[in-house]
Amino acid sequence: MPRPVSSIRNLGPASDESFARAGIRSAEELIEMGPDAAYKKLLQAGTRPHFIGYYAMVMGLQGRPWNDCKGKEKEALRARFDAIKAEAGPNPLAGIEGILNEIGTGTRR
């Protein structure tokens, strides 16, 4: 039986829903895909880019606590994160979300 994405260290229950929206429905799929490809899919599915979320996932896939990322390793992950954001293109929800926020309805979190 497949494990939920939230079974990976540093990823909580909300991760299951976010990853499912991106078509990643199990920890095994995430592990096989790797952190960079998975994060790109998250962004393309409308998840807002968040550096800490990215490196927490990377650390979790290595079995490490999220706050273990420091120094040169963190700098290298920041460069990877920025490259993934550029490859993913604009957030498909950015336009409508901005409009909804302006009129006070916003999106649910």
pLDDT band for 85, please (50, 70, 90 cuts). Answer: very high
Residue of higher predicted confidence among 71 and 99: 71
pLDDT at 100: 67
Asked if residue 102 has pLDDT above 70, the reply is no
On the question of pLDDT at 97 being above 70, the answer is no
What's the N-to-C CA distance of the chain in angstroms? 29
**Residues 72-94: what's their mean pLDDT?**
88
- The tokens for 78 are 């920041």
Q: Residue 92 — very low, low, confident or very high, per pLDDT cuts 50/70/90?
A: low
Tell me the domain boundaries of the chain: 5-102
> Tens of pLDDT along 24-70?
999 999 999 999 999 999 999 888 899 999 999 999 999 999 999 99
3-state DSSP call for residue 92? coil
CATH number of the structural domain 5-102: 1.10.150.20
Query: Is residue 16 within 8 Å of residue 4, measured between CB atoms?
Result: yes
